[in-house]
Structure 1
Amino acid sequence: MIAKTLLAGVASLVAIGSVSAADLPRREAPPVFVPVPVFTWTGVYFGTHSSYTFSDNQNIRTLGNNNGTGGITNTQLNVAQGRRAQNFKAEQDGIGNIGGGLGYNYQFTPGSGFVIGAEADVTWTDIGKRRDYLGPAIAANNFIPDPSSYRNRLNYLGTVQGRLGYAFDRFLVYGTGGFAYGDVKYQADFFNTANRLAYFGRYKGMETGYVYGGGIEYAIPTDSFLNRFNFIGGLIGASAITLKAEYLRYDLGSRDVLVNNTGIGPTGSYTSRFKTEGNLIKAGFNYKFGSL
């Protein structure tokens, strides 16, 4: 009788335990951790930009090539008297039309870290101004000033540069420098007192030199509202779009231009040395493609 009572008690306890266990919350598997992707600047990119170009030390020097012997016009004296400008400032500035470039970056550590790269770009500067000079009215020219005009033009500027910078996640600061080339046009026209062209000089062609500077670039996050306007990037499969601003100092060197007589009145010749150097400020955007 006692044994039956004990068995009934044990069965009751087991039943109660089962009911209590059913009331306990179920243990679920922990959520799978998905790491947030870390941005990297590594990859190929291409983009476009607009620009503003200005010069601050552009000077045209003119020398006379004749001293008056043999009955040839004393062009050296004309320069000394100021009838032709010995030194003439030819500053210029203007907003460029458009430009574009292609490059590659490599970031050593994703997130924040050093970035190296290379880039080639072309900027259609299309700047050029005519500057006029009026000599003094002296006895040598019958007190009628001798006019002169100069034109210095830079049609486009191309560069091939190396890059070194540091990335703070999506923010990149860098320095740059390398080879520069551009299509230039130099022109000098010297008129006589009757305002007829007496001397002229021309040069049009490619000049080469160097460029250096620096810039900043920012990669727009994928959840930014600005990416709503990035429909082109989506069509071409770009992994990111970046905004950039850059300053460059360029120097394409100097060139001597012979300013020869036209056969009307005066004889002899001059040599005018033109120099092309200045500053370029660029702003634009790049389409970046995934790391290689």
Structure 2
Amino acid sequence: MRNTLIGLLSGAAALALVASSAQAADMPSRYAPPPVYDAIPVFTWTGFYAGLNAGYGWSTGTSRYYDPAFGYVGSSSNGGFVGGGQAGYNYQMGMFVIGAEADIQYASVGNKGASYGSRYFAGNSDGYYGTLRARLGFAFDRALIFGTGGFAYGDVGGNNSSDPQLGYHRGNSTNGGWTLGGGVEYAVTNNITAKVEGSYVNLDTRGNYTVNGYQGARRDTEFGVVKAGLNYKFN
């Protein structure tokens, strides 16, 4: 009898424990839910962009005039303001960024005016140039180090000369050439980037002659540029 009573009490206790556990499972949890983390978007250089730039350019070419007795004589170079706009597209693959960019610039860096002896060759230093370039860079999150190069064109200097006594005049002309450069760019926000860039531009060499070549001028249209710019990157 005693053993039977103990067995009944043990069974009742077990049933009560099971019922209590089931009821506790149905009750709301007292523990806070696990925190939810929103992943911070990773910046990418991929996309179209457009912007403005300004800087300084200096001629690395010369203005030399031909004299039968002395050959090419005289030399001059100018420097001045450079500014304009650019637009392009970047595509990022891991750390590598490839792209293309076109720009158009006002440039006061030419050799359009000089003199030799009694001959006066009139002109000014105002001009323009543009480029169509490929870009290749390495991205370190929001920082980009890049090199660039491609086709250049423009009328920067060395193409305008006249002789009042001989009545000779050569007007402005657009020349083709090439350019190489590089720089650094930083994404200030997801849409605004700032850059500093240096480049060398060569727009061919022109020779101007008068009276069967006895009097003439040779100008090397070459110049360097350092400029800063801002771009707006479209999403």
* Interval of TM-score (by shorter of Structure 1 and Structure 2): 0.7 to 0.9
The amino acid across from 2:176 in the alignment is: T
Is 2:224 aligned against 1:256? Answer: no
SS at match of 2:160: strand
1:55, CA displacement in angstroms? 1.3
Say what the alpha-carbon RMSD is for the aligned residues: 3.6
Is the 1:171–1:216 contact (alpha carbons within 8 Å) kept by the matching residues of 2? yes
Return the offset for 1:276.
Answer: 0.7
**1:256–1:272 CA contact under 8 A, matched in 2:** yes
Matched with 1:71 is: none
Matched-pair contact (CA < 8 Å) for 2:107–2:156: no
Q: Which amino acid aligns with 1:91?
A: S
CA distance in 2, matches of 1:59, 1:153: 13
Number of equivalences = 228
Structure in which a larger fraction of residues adopt helix: 1
Query: Which of 132, 138, 143 matches 1:171?
Result: 143
Question: For the Cα contact (< 8 Å) 1:152–1:184, is it kept in 2?
Answer: no
- Write the distance in 1 (CA, Å) between the matches of 2:97 and 2:105: 24
1:171-250 paired onto structure 2 within 5 Å? 171-184=143-156, 186-190=159-163, 197-199=164-166, 200-221=168-189, 240-250=191-201
CA distance in 1, matches of 2:124, 2:221: 8
Match of 2:215 in 1: 270
Structure 2 equivalent of residue 228 of structure 1? none
> Is the counterpart of residue 89 in structure 1 residue 79 in structure 2?
no
Are 1:105 and 2:50 counterparts? no
Question: Is residue 62–residue 111 contact of structure 2 (8 Å, CA) maintained in 1?
Answer: no
Conserved? CA contact 2:137–2:144, under 8 Å: yes
**How much does 1:162 deviate?**
0.5
Q: Deviations over 1:39-66 (max 9, x none)?
A: 111111111111211113x2223335xx
Q: Is the Cα contact below 8 Å between 1:258 and 1:270 reproduced in 2? A: yes
Q: CA deviation at 1:183?
A: 2.2
Give distance in 1, aligned partners of 2:229 and 2:119. 42
Report % sequence identity.
39
Would the alpha carbon gap of residues 255 and 211 (structure 1) be closer, same or farther in structure 2, given more than 3 Å must change?
same
2:41 corresponds to: 37
How far is 1:132 from its partner? 4.4
Residues 104-131 of structure 1: CA deviation (Å, up to 9, x unaligned): 111102xxx0111111111111444665
- Cα shift at 1:189: 4.2
Structure 2 counterpart of 1:233: none
Question: Do 1:184 and 1:204's aligned partners in 2 also have CA atoms closer than 8 Å?
Answer: no
CA distance in 1, matches of 2:170, 2:52: 33
Alpha-carbon offset, residue 275 of structure 1: 1.7
Distance 2:105 2:122 in 1: 24
C-alpha separation in 2, matches of 1:268 and 1:29? 91
TM-score computed with the length of structure 2 as normaliser = 0.80
Shift of 1:179: 0.2
State whether residues 90 and 131 of structure 1, in contact with CA within 8 Å, keep that contact through their aligned partners in structure 2: no
Unaligned runs of 5+ in 2: none
Over residues 185-244 of structure 1, what are the superposed CA-to-partner deviations in whole Å (9 max), with x where a residue is unaligned? 533345xxxxxx32333231111100001011000135xxxxxxxxxxxxxxxxx11001
Deviation at 1:271, TM superposition (A): 2.6
The match for 1:123 is 105
The question of 1:26 aligning with 2:30 is answered yes
- Amino acid aligned to 1:121: D
Preserved contact between residue 59 and residue 109 of structure 2 (Cα < 8 Å): no
